[in-house]
């Protein structure tokens, strides 16, 4: 490689880096497309072959991402005197690629392969164990996963806690020290609020009774998501067992949802949630297309966009003042003697559940804290896998006041541990915290925020989100972005304030 001290050489190096960045992004895009196809479109008999194709693509991508060529380019471009000369987008792409490169290089190929094969099999074992309510069947597999995850943590390296090394994969820079402090405050004040809610004489009544035609549910979803800013010419809505959003490129961001005749609420809010993820990705500056920075910056920031739309907009009274009439018209005969206010209160019922994904927004974070504490203990070697079912139930009783009758409804409910995703769960709560802080900033900019929603002018808010958050893709790190947007680092008080304000209204506290 030519020396970088001359400008024309620097330009050549940047050009080479951009080409490699684009090639790797194209591999990722095709992996996304193949993943989507496997879950949404492919006929059952074609699925297993697809797994092999994805394996090949993913191995090729790993080779490129850890190649000597990219390593040399990244080293040259990371030198302080060179950094000064790069534009913000290139600098961010170098930062992102280098972060993965440095981590990947620490993992021996054999461990990478063992982990990939082990977690692929673990998923099947977990599925069976969950179906049969048989934790012991999953235990040896999970013990091996924890062993592998601990090896990753040691190889990545950390300053204070082995779990920090894993958190960094999902939310760069996040540490146990920060989380313990944030979760401590949040837990204490959530539990106090829950007590007041539980004792309120004004309990909302359930609005959804009987069966709701699935095709009508789908029609309403397709009616509402463009009004929230989702561009259907740059995306599509399909059906899968577990809803998700996935990006092929800025002009192709797809979402999925699921339908249950007896639970239209679940489907509706899952769809709005995924729409939040999708409008983030659709809003990224098109000039970043083909680069690693063309996607949202972290899971936590991503989740802030989905939770904001789902809970702070979609479960607000103003939203339903605007759209309850529309919703009723899709389900003639339903909600006949129900006021908008009753409907709004009904979609905000707070009640502890066994299952995280069915939890209301107040109790949701307690589910996350349970997983966080258990993961942290396992990674630090302070807890043993064999004790998980007992510890899980104890914590459920302590935090939520309910104890799951089976492990299927308890410790076996989530897929994350099966695929080795330790450090992922906290980003869900982080998303809630970020969303409340962003909401607070929006309220300062738009004191008539709820009037805007009541008038059906959400596009005004979407534009603000695009301008301040979405367009930047991964240019800023999560902590840089939150400070830029809200003027301060992450502060858990805003979520608690939002809960207290909203639930005082819903429950007449
Ligand atoms: Zn989400």
CATH code for the domain of 113: 1.20.58
Are residues 193 and 155 part of one domain? Answer: no
- Taking the centre of ligand 1 as the mean of its atom positions, its distance from the CA of residue 21, in whole angstroms, is 26
pLDDT given for residue 54 in this prediction: 81
Cα–Cα–Cα angle for 239, 240, 245, nearest 5°? 85
**pLDDT, tens digit (0-9, with 9 covering 90-100), for 475-508:** 999 999 999 999 999 999 999 999 999 999 999 9
The sign of the torsion formed by the CA atoms of 437, 166, 158, 181 equals: positive
- Taking the centre of ligand 1 as the mean of its atom positions, its distance from the CA of residue 122, in whole angstroms, is 23
**pLDDT, tens digit (0-9, with 9 covering 90-100), for 269-282:** 999 999 999 999 99
pLDDT given for residue 138 in this prediction: 97
| CA-based nearest residue to 348, from 317, 327, 380 | 317
pLDDT tier for residue 1 given thresholds of 50, 70 and 90 = low
pLDDT given for residue 257 in this prediction: 96
- Asked if residue 164 is part of any domain, the answer here is no
- Taking the centre of ligand 1 as the mean of its atom positions, its distance from the CA of residue 283, in whole angstroms, is 17
- Asked if residue 2 is part of any domain, the answer here is no
pLDDT at 116 over 90: no
Bridge partners of 247, per DSSP, are 253
**pLDDT, tens digit (0-9, with 9 covering 90-100), for 323-353:** 999 999 999 999 998 999 999 999 999 999 9
Identify whether the C-beta of residue 135 lies closer than 8 Å to the C-beta of residue 388. yes
CATH classification of the domain holding 356: 1.10.1370.30
pLDDT given for residue 5 in this prediction: 57
**pLDDT, tens digit (0-9, with 9 covering 90-100), for 130-164:** 999 999 999 999 999 999 999 999 999 999 999 99
Are residues 277 and 151 part of one domain? Answer: no
d(CA 53, CA 114): 18
**pLDDT, tens digit (0-9, with 9 covering 90-100), for 461-480:** 999 999 999 999 999 999 99
Q: Which long-range contacts (CB under 8 A, 24 or more apart) does 70-74 make?
A: 70/17, 70/20, 70/97, 70/101, 71/101, 71/105, 72/1, 73/1, 73/13, 73/16, 73/17, 73/20, 74/17, 74/98, 74/101
d(CA 161, CA 177): 8
Strands 237-239 and 252-257 turn out to be parallel
Backbone angles phi, psi at 245, to 5 degrees: -120, 145
pLDDT given for residue 52 in this prediction: 78
Are residues 378 and 262 part of one domain? Answer: yes
pLDDT tier for residue 45 given thresholds of 50, 70 and 90 = confident
- Structural domain count, the chain: 2
What would the mean pLDDT of 179-183 be, rounded to a whole number? 95
**pLDDT, tens digit (0-9, with 9 covering 90-100), for 14-23:** 999 999 999 9
Instruction: Please tell me whether residue 381 adopts helix, strand or coil conformation.
Output: coil
- Taking the centre of ligand 1 as the mean of its atom positions, its distance from the CA of residue 424, in whole angstroms, is 12
Are residues 145 and 92 part of one domain? Answer: yes
- Taking the centre of ligand 1 as the mean of its atom positions, its distance from the CA of residue 306, in whole angstroms, is 6
Are residues 360 and 320 part of one domain? Answer: yes
pLDDT given for residue 6 in this prediction: 61
- Taking the centre of ligand 1 as the mean of its atom positions, its distance from the CA of residue 11, in whole angstroms, is 39
Are residues 386 and 321 part of one domain? Answer: yes
Are residues 463 and 489 part of one domain? Answer: yes
Identify whether the C-beta of residue 348 lies closer than 8 Å to the C-beta of residue 320. no
d(CA 318, CA 312): 10
Are residues 151 and 193 part of one domain? Answer: no
Instruction: Output the CA–CA distances (angstroms, integers) from residue 191 to 356, 357, 362, 499, in the order listed.
Output: 16, 19, 9, 12
- Asked if residue 115 is part of any domain, the answer here is yes
pLDDT at 74 over 90: yes
pLDDT at 212 over 60: yes
pTM above 0.85, yes or no: yes
> How many H helices and E strands in the chain?
21, 3
Are residues 99 and 34 part of one domain? Answer: yes
What would the mean pLDDT of 15-39 be, rounded to a whole number? 94
Instruction: Provide the mean pLDDT of the chain.
Output: 95
Are residues 367 and 462 part of one domain? Answer: yes
Instruction: Please tell me whether residue 17 adopts helix, strand or coil conformation.
Output: helix
- Asked if residue 304 is part of any domain, the answer here is yes
Task: From 126, 159, 192, give the residue that closes a domain.
Answer: 159
Containing structural domain, residue 205: 176-226+234-239+254-507
- Taking the centre of ligand 1 as the mean of its atom positions, its distance from the CA of residue 299, in whole angstroms, is 8
pLDDT given for residue 254 in this prediction: 98
pLDDT tier for residue 78 given thresholds of 50, 70 and 90 = very high
Are residues 392 and 271 part of one domain? Answer: yes
pLDDT given for residue 12 in this prediction: 94
- Taking the centre of ligand 1 as the mean of its atom positions, its distance from the CA of residue 487, in whole angstroms, is 25
- Asked if residue 249 is part of any domain, the answer here is no
Are residues 203 and 66 part of one domain? Answer: no
Alpha-helical segments (H) within 66-108: 68-78, 80-83, 88-105
- Asked if residue 245 is part of any domain, the answer here is no
Identify whether the C-beta of residue 248 lies closer than 8 Å to the C-beta of residue 29. yes
| Catalytic residue list | 274
d(CA 493, CA 186): 8
- Taking the centre of ligand 1 as the mean of its atom positions, its distance from the CA of residue 247, in whole angstroms, is 13
3-state secondary structure 109-167: HHHHHHHHHHHHHHHHHHHHHHHHCCHHHHHHHHHHHHHHHHHHHHHHCCCCCHHHHHH
What count of residues does the chain have? 509
């Amino acid at each position: 490689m030519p020396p970088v001290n001359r400008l024309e050489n620097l330009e050549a190096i940047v050009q080479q880096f951009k080409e490699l960045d684009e090639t790797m992004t194209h591999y990722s895009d095709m992996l996304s497309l193949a993943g989507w196809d496997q879950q949404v479109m492919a006929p059952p008999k074609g699925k297993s072959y697809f797994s092999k194709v994805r394996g090949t693509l993913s191995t090729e991508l790993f080779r490129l991402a850890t190649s000597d060529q990219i390593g040399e380019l990244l080293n040259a471009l990371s030198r302080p005197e060179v950094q000064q000369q790069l534009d913000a987008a290139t600098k961010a792409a170098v930062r992102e690629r280098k972060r993965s490169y440095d981590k990947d290089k620490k993992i021996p190929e054999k461990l990478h392969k063992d982990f990939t094969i082990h977690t692929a099999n673990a998923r099947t074992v977990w599925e069976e164990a969950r179906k049969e309510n048989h934790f012991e069947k999953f235990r040896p597999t999970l013990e091996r996963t924890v062993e592998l995850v601990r090896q990753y943590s040691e190889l990545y390296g950390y300053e204070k806690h082995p779990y920090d090394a894993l958190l960094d994969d999902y939310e760069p820079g996040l540490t146990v020290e920060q989380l313990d402090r944030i979760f401590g405050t949040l837990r204490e004040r959530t539990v106090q609020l829950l007590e007041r809610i539980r004792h309120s004489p004004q309990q909302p009544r359930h609005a959804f009774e009987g069966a709701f035609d699935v095709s009508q549910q789908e029609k309403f979803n397709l009616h509402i998501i463009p009004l929230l800013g989702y561009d259907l010419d740059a995306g599509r809505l399909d059906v899968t067992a577990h809803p998700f959003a996935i990006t092929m490129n800025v002009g192709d961001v797809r979402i999925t949802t699921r339908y249950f005749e007896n639970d239209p609420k679940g489907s509706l809010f899952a769809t709005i949630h995924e729409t939040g993820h999708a409008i983030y990705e659709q809003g990224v500056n098109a000039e970043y297309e083909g680069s690693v920075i063309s996607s949202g910056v972290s899971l936590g920031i991503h989740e802030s966009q989905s939770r904001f739309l789902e809970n702070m907009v979609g479960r607000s009274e103003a939203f339903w003042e605007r759209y309850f009439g529309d919703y009723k018209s899709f389900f003639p005969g339903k909600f006949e003697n129900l006021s908008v206010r009753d409907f709004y209160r009904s979609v905000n019922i707070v009640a502890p559940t066994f299952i995280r994904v069915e939890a209301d927004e107040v109790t949701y974070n307690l589910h996350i804290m349970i997983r966080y504490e258990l993961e942290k203990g396992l990674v630090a070697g302070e807890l043993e896998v064999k004790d998980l079912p007992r510890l899980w139930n104890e914590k459920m009783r302590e935090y939520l006041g309910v104890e799951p009758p089976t492990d299927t409804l308890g410790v076996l409910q989530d897929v994350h541990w099966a695929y080795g995703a330790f450090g992922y769960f906290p980003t869900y709560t982080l998303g809630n915290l970020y969303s409340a802080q962003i909401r607070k900033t929006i309220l300062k900019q738009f004191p008539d925020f709820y009037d805007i929603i009541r008038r059906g002018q959400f596009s005004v808010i979407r534009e603000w989100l695009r301008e301040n958050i979405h367009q930047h893709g991964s240019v800023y790190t999560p902590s840089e972005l939150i400070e830029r947007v809200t003027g301060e680092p992450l502060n858990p008080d805003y979520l608690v304030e939002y809960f207290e304000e909203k639930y005082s209204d819903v429950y007449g506290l």
